[in-house]
Amino acid sequence: MNSRAMSFCRLGAVIMQPSTPTKGRDGLPPMLGTGAIVRRPVVVEVDGAETIAIRSMMYLALSYDHRIVDGREAVQFLVKIKEFIEDPAWLLIEG
Protein backbone atom coordinates (compact mmCIF):
# COMPACT_ATOMS: atom_id res chain seq x y z
CA MET A 1 0.00 0.00 0.00
CA ASN A 2 1.58 3.26 -1.09
CA SER A 3 -0.87 5.52 0.72
CA ARG A 4 -0.16 6.71 4.22
CA ALA A 5 -3.81 7.47 4.89
CA MET A 6 -5.96 6.01 7.64
CA SER A 7 -9.63 6.43 8.47
CA PHE A 8 -10.90 6.83 12.02
CA CYS A 9 -14.32 5.94 13.34
CA ARG A 10 -15.44 6.98 16.82
CA LEU A 11 -17.68 4.03 17.68
CA GLY A 12 -17.92 5.10 21.32
CA ALA A 13 -20.36 7.86 20.39
CA VAL A 14 -23.10 5.24 20.12
CA ILE A 15 -21.81 3.15 23.07
CA MET A 16 -21.53 -0.05 21.06
CA GLN A 17 -18.98 -2.24 22.83
CA PRO A 18 -17.18 -3.94 21.18
CA SER A 19 -17.67 -3.06 17.55
CA THR A 20 -15.56 -3.28 14.40
CA PRO A 21 -15.57 -0.75 11.57
CA THR A 22 -15.87 -2.23 8.09
CA LYS A 23 -14.48 -0.99 4.82
CA GLY A 24 -16.72 -0.54 1.80
CA ARG A 25 -14.42 -1.61 -1.03
CA ASP A 26 -11.00 -3.06 -1.73
CA GLY A 27 -7.90 -0.92 -1.55
CA LEU A 28 -9.22 1.55 1.03
CA PRO A 29 -6.82 2.57 3.79
CA PRO A 30 -7.02 0.86 7.17
CA MET A 31 -9.74 2.04 9.55
CA LEU A 32 -9.23 2.42 13.30
CA GLY A 33 -12.38 2.34 15.42
CA THR A 34 -12.39 3.62 18.99
CA GLY A 35 -14.95 2.69 21.61
CA ALA A 36 -16.16 4.73 24.55
CA ILE A 37 -13.86 5.10 27.55
CA VAL A 38 -15.64 3.41 30.46
CA ARG A 39 -14.57 2.45 33.96
CA ARG A 40 -14.43 -1.32 34.51
CA PRO A 41 -13.25 -3.67 37.24
CA VAL A 42 -10.02 -5.42 36.24
CA VAL A 43 -7.48 -7.66 37.95
CA VAL A 44 -4.19 -5.86 38.67
CA GLU A 45 -1.04 -6.90 40.49
CA VAL A 46 -0.10 -4.84 43.55
CA ASP A 47 2.97 -5.81 45.60
CA GLY A 48 2.98 -9.29 44.06
CA ALA A 49 -0.67 -9.98 44.89
CA GLU A 50 -3.64 -9.84 42.53
CA THR A 51 -6.49 -7.52 43.41
CA ILE A 52 -9.50 -5.99 41.67
CA ALA A 53 -9.30 -2.32 40.77
CA ILE A 54 -11.35 0.10 38.69
CA ARG A 55 -9.58 1.24 35.50
CA SER A 56 -10.59 3.29 32.48
CA MET A 57 -10.87 0.96 29.46
CA MET A 58 -11.46 1.53 25.75
CA TYR A 59 -11.83 -0.91 22.86
CA LEU A 60 -9.76 -0.40 19.71
CA ALA A 61 -10.63 -2.18 16.47
CA LEU A 62 -8.54 -2.13 13.30
CA SER A 63 -9.97 -3.10 9.91
CA TYR A 64 -7.56 -3.58 7.03
CA ASP A 65 -7.14 -5.44 3.77
CA HIS A 66 -5.30 -8.64 4.73
CA ARG A 67 -4.06 -9.00 1.16
CA ILE A 68 -2.06 -5.78 1.63
CA VAL A 69 -1.28 -5.64 5.37
CA ASP A 70 0.03 -8.64 7.30
CA GLY A 71 -1.70 -9.40 10.59
CA ARG A 72 1.59 -9.21 12.49
CA GLU A 73 2.18 -5.59 11.45
CA ALA A 74 -1.44 -4.71 12.23
CA VAL A 75 -1.09 -6.09 15.76
CA GLN A 76 2.21 -4.24 16.24
CA PHE A 77 0.46 -1.03 15.19
CA LEU A 78 -2.34 -1.59 17.71
CA VAL A 79 0.21 -2.30 20.47
CA LYS A 80 1.98 0.98 19.66
CA ILE A 81 -1.32 2.90 19.76
CA LYS A 82 -2.06 1.29 23.16
CA GLU A 83 1.37 2.42 24.43
CA PHE A 84 0.74 5.99 23.18
CA ILE A 85 -2.61 6.12 24.98
CA GLU A 86 -1.31 4.62 28.23
CA ASP A 87 1.80 6.83 28.41
CA PRO A 88 1.50 9.91 26.17
CA ALA A 89 4.36 11.74 27.96
CA TRP A 90 7.02 9.74 26.12
CA LEU A 91 5.89 11.40 22.87
CA LEU A 92 7.35 14.64 24.24
CA ILE A 93 10.82 13.19 24.78
CA GLU A 94 13.30 14.37 22.15
CA GLY A 95 16.04 12.28 20.66
* DSSP type of residue 94: -
CA distance to 14, 67, 73, per residue, from 26 (Å)? 26, 10, 19
CA distance to 31, 51, 77, 87, per residue, from 4 (Å)? 12, 42, 13, 24
* DSSP type of residue 85: H
Active site residues: 66, 70
